[in-house]
């Protein structure tokens, strides 16, 4: 049988090492710097305005930069309507911002001004974490039922945790703002990653029924190579499309596109270099655990050394090699 040209499973330790080289610095960055939480998680101010003159979001952002609010979410509505979502502003700060906008665009009418305190931000954060945890648990139940084995489910969820940690690390190191769209990024990454992993696991299950006698690690490596081109093509084309949004889209959607690109790239990586190797290592460990008691049961019992027969004179006699004497007689 011709061996596959790429022994991905045989070199799976390098995949583990690369993941650690990405995740460990990310965890350190999370512990030291944390995440750059946006308005949705820390609380802030929402302003719906109507300007007298025509404007662009870039011009409004230039005005807000003078107050350190350049990363605010700015949306242009119908006509001269403007929505600004920024950090929490006091009455004095809000008045200064409105005055600066009036100096740039003429009369400014405040249609709505709402304040969201940090308490609601904490609730949103709790709901986001709870939603991700419940999603992971439900996936364990479904994948275990679908593949008739909890190993597939646990391996897939560990790959998902890998992807989430990589995305968190990327946002922490780059200091990208974490807002409500970040929750959508995580959920999209979870869905994309689990889809890629399930496609690969389904190929492994098909090969298990066709090649039952092939060693499991070789079978998994074969399955990876069979699904590799499909996985790479899907990931690359998706990243190219989102990359166009990142470079040519507005500032408000750039962080969202960045998270999607990182999540899709690490989702394709983890399906091949994390989920499948974990499945193989668990299978090999289980085989060793089953083989050890069986090997101990097959060990021959230690037989006692033969006791020499007593001679008629009371001394210890020796057994005579009768067969050898018979051969000499012949």
Boundary (domain end) residue, out of 60, 82, 116? 116
Distance of CA 52 to the CA centre of its chain: 48
Q: What is the DSSP string of 173-228?
A: HHT-EE-HHHHHHHHHHHHHHHHHHHHHHHHHHHHHHH-TTS-HHHHHHHHHHHHH
What is the pairing mode between strands 44-51 and 81-87?
Answer: antiparallel
Do 182 and 279 have their domain in common?
yes
pLDDT of 22 over the 70 cut? yes
Does residue 309 sit within a domain?
no
Q: Are 219 and 238 in contact, with CB atoms under 8 Å apart?
A: no
- CA triple 277-280-282, angle to 5 deg: 110
Looking up residue 78, the CATH number of its domain turns out to be 3.30.70.3400
3 domain residue, yes or no: no
Residue 300 placed within a domain: no
Please report the pLDDT score of residue 4 as a whole number: 46
**126 and 251 together in one domain:** yes
3-state DSSP percent of the chain in helix, strand and coil, to 5: 70, 10, 20
Q: Is residue 316 part of a domain?
A: no
Residue 258 has pLDDT above 90, yes or no: yes
Residue 236 has pLDDT above 70, yes or no: yes
How many angstroms separate the CA atoms of 192 and 301, rounded?
56
Q: Could you tell me if residue 103 is inside a domain? A: yes
Q: Are residues 54 and 189 in the same domain?
A: no
DSSP class per residue in 15-67? HHHHHHHHHHHHHHHHHHT--EE-HHHH-EEEEEEEESS---HHHHHHHHHTT
Are residues 281 and 246 located together in one domain of the fold?
A: yes
Instruction: Please indicate, yes or no, whether residues 132 and 214 belong to a single structural domain of this protein.
Output: yes
Domain's final residue, options 66, 96, 116:
116
Segment 92-97 mean pLDDT = 89
pLDDT bin (cut points 50, 70, 90) of residue 313 is: very low
- DSSP string of 151-178, one letter each residue: HHHHHHHHHHHHHHHHHHHHHHHHT-EE
Domain co-membership, 203 together with 276: yes
Reading the block at residue 178, the tokens are 């974490």
Q: What is the pLDDT of residues 134-186, one digit of tens each?
A: 877 888 888 888 888 888 988 998 998 899 999 999 999 988 888 778 888 88
192 and 157 part of one domain: yes
Range with lowest mean pLDDT among 79-88, 123-132, 263-272 = 123-132
Q: How many residues in total does the chain contain? A: 330
Q: Over 70: is that where the pLDDT of 293 sits?
A: no
Domain carrying residue 105: 44-116
Q: Is the pLDDT of residue 36 over 50?
A: yes
| Boundary residue ending a domain (89, 116, 143) | 116
Q: Are residue 27 and residue 52 in the same domain, yes or no? A: no
CATH number, position 273: 1.20.1640.10
Q: Indicate if 198 and 239 belong to the same structural domain.
A: yes
Would you say residue 169 lies in a domain? yes
Same domain, 265 and 151: yes
The reply to whether 101 falls in a domain is: yes
Specify whether 133 is located in the same domain as 150.
yes
The answer for residues whose C-beta is within 8 angstroms of residue 221's C-beta and 6 or more apart is 4, 6, 7, 8, 9, 10
Rounded mean pLDDT of the chain?
81
Domain tally, the chain: 2
pLDDT value at residue 312: 44
Q: For residue 324, is it within any domain?
A: no
Asked if 201 and 287 sit in the same domain, the reply is yes
């Amino acid at each position: 049988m011709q061996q596959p040209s790429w022994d991905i499973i045989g070199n799976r330790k390098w995949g583990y090492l690369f993941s650690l080289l990405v995740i460990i610095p990310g965890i350190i960055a999370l512990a030291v710097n944390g995440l750059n939480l946006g308005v949705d998680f820390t609380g802030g101010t929402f302003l719906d305005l109507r300007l007298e003159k025509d404007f662009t979001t870039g011009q409004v952002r230039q005005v807000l930069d003078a107050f350190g609010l350049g990363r605010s979410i700015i949306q242009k509505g119908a006509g001269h309507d403007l929505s600004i979502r920024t950090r929490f502003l006091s009455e004095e700060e809000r008045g200064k911002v409105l005055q600066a906008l009036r100096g740039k665009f003429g009369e400014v009418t405040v249609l709505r001004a709402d304040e969201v305190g940090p308490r609601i931000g904490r609730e949103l954060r709790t709901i986001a974490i709870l939603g991700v945890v419940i999603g992971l648990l439900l996936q364990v139940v479904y994948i275990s039922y679908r593949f008739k084995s909890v190993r597939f489910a646990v391996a897939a969820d560990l790959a998902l945790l890998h992807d989430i940690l990589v995305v968190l690390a990327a946002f922490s190191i780059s200091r990208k703002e974490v807002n409500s769209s970040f929750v959508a990024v995580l959920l999209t990454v979870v869905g994309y990653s689990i889809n890629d992993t399930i496609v690969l696991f389904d190929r492994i299950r098909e090969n298990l029924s066709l090649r039952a006698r092939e060693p499991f690690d070789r079978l998994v490596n074969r399955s990876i190579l069979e699904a590799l081109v499909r996985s790479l093509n899907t990931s690359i084309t998706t990243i190219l499309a989102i990359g166009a949004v990142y470079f040519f889209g507005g500032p408000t959607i750039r962080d969202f596109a960045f998270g999607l690109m990182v999540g899709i790239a690490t989702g394709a990586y983890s399906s091949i270099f994390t989920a499948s190797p974990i499945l193989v290592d668990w299978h090999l460990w289980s085989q060793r655990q089953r083989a050890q008691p069986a090997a101990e049961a097959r060990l021959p019992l230690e037989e006692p050394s033969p006791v020499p027969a007593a001679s008629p004179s009371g001394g210890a006699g020796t057994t005579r090699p009768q067969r050898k004497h018979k051969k000499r007689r012949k």
